[in-house]
Structure 1
Amino acid sequence: MAAYILKRLLLMLPTLLGVLLVTFVVTQFVPGGPVEQYFAEARAGAGGGGAEGGTFSYRGGQGVDTKKLEQIKALYGFDKPPHERFFQMLGQYARFDLGQSFFQNKAVSQLIVEKLPVSISLGLWTFFISYLIAVPLGVAKAVRAGSRFDLVSTLVVLIGYAIPGFVLGVALLVIFGGQLGWFPLRGLTSSNWDEMSLGGKIVDYLWHITLPVTAMVVGSFAVTTMLTKNSFLEEIRKQYVLTARAKGLDERRVLWKHVFRNALMPIIAGFPAAFLGAFFTGSLLIETLFSLDGLGLLSYDSVIRRDYPVVLGTLYLFTLIGLFTKLLSDLMYVWVDPRVKFD
Structure 2
Amino acid sequence: MFAYIVKRILLMLPTLLGVLFLTFVVIQFVPGGPVEQYIAEARRAGGGGDTSAYRGGQGVDPRRIEQIKKLYGFDKPPSERFVKMLGDYARFDLGRSFMQNKPVAQLIVEKLPVSISLGLWTFLISYLVAVPLGVAKAVRAGTRFDFVSTIIVLIGYAIPGFVLGVALLVVFGGQLQWFPLRGLTSANWDELSWGARIVDYLWHITLPVTAMVLGSFAVTTMLTKNSFLEEIRKQYVLTARAKGLSERRVLWKHVFRNALIPIVTGFPAAFIGAFFTGALLIETLFSLDGLGLLSYESIIRRDYPVVLGSLYVFTLISLVTKLISDLSYVWVDPRVKFD
Which TM-score bucket, shorter chain as reference?
A: over 0.9
Structure 2 residue aligned with 1:3 = 3
Distance in 2 of aligned mates of 1:288 and 1:266: 33
Deviations 1:107-150, CA, capped at 9 Å, x for gaps: 00000010000011100010100011000000000000111000
Counterpart check, 1:193 vs 2:193 = no
RMSD of the alignment, in Å? 1.4
Q: What's the CA shift string for 1:34-85, capped at 9, x where partnerless?
A: 11123334555x4x48xxxxxxxxxxx9611110000001111110111111
1:275 CA displacement:
2.1
Correspondent of 1:152 among 148, 156, 168: 148
Q: CA offset at residue 199 of structure 1?
A: 1.1
In structure 2, the CA distance between the partners of 1:139 and 1:110, relative to structure 1 (3 Å rule), is same
Q: Where do residues 123-142 of structure 1 align in structure 2 (5 Å cutoff)?
A: 123-142=119-138
CA deviations on 1:202-253 (whole Å, 9 max, x unpaired) are 1111111000000000001211111111110110011111111122211111
Matched, 1:19 2:19: yes
- The runs of 5 or more residues in structure 2 that have no matched partner are 48-56
Tell me how far apart the structure 1 counterparts of residues 2 and 311 of structure 2 sit (CA, whole Å): 28
Relative to 1, partners in 2 of residues 1:155 and 1:221: Cα closer, same or farther, differing over 3 Å?
A: same
1:239 aligned residue (224, 235, 241)? 235
| DSSP-derived class of the 1:102 partner | coil
**How many Å separate the matches in 1 of 2:90 and 2:125?**
37
| Percent identity over paired residues | 85
Q: Secondary structure at the match of 1:312?
A: helix
Q: Provide the C-alpha distance between the structure 2 equivalents of 1:169 and 1:88, rounded to a whole number of angstroms.
A: 42
* TM-score for the superposition, normalised by structure 2: 0.95
- The question of 1:304 aligning with 2:296 is answered no
User: 1:313 aligned to 2:314?
Assistant: no
Aligned-residue offset at 1:159 = 0.4
Q: Which runs of 4+ in 1 moved over 6 A?
A: none
2:104 counterpart of 1:108: yes
Q: Check the 8 A contact 1:122/1:281 in 2, yes or no.
A: no
Greater Cα offset, 279-288 or 195-204: 279-288
The residue matched to 1:221 in structure 2 has which SS? helix
Shift of 1:277: 3.1
Alignment map for 1:199-210 (pairs within 5 Å): 199-210=195-206
Cα separation, 1, equivalents of 2:193 and 2:246? 51
Which AA in structure 2 matches 1:2? F
Aligned length: 330
Q: Which amino acid in the other structure matches residue 37 of structure 1?
A: Q
TM-score, normalised with respect to structure 1: 0.94
Aligned twin of 1:39: 39
How far, CA to CA, are the matches of 1:177 and 1:27 in structure 2?
39
- Counterpart of 1:64, as a letter, is V
Deviation of the 1:276 alpha carbon: 2.9
Residues 1:96 and 2:92 are matched in the alignment: yes
Look up the match of 1:66: 62
Q: Which residue of 1 aligns with 2:50?
A: none
1:250 paired with 2:246, answer yes
Q: Tell me the distance in 2 between the aligned counterparts of 1:70 and 1:42.
A: 14
The alpha carbon displacement at 1:280 in A equals: 3.5
Q: Please name the residue that 1:275 is paired with.
A: 271
Aligned partners of 2:228, 2:168: CA distance in 1, in Å? Answer: 34
Equivalents in 1 of 2:275, 2:167: separation in Å? 26
- List gaps (5 residues or longer) in structure 1: 50-60
The equivalent position to 1:117 in structure 2, one of 113, 117, 141, is 113
CA contact (8 A) 2:276 2:292 kept: no
Q: Deviations over 1:138-181 (max 9, x none)?
A: 00000001110001000000000000000000000000000111
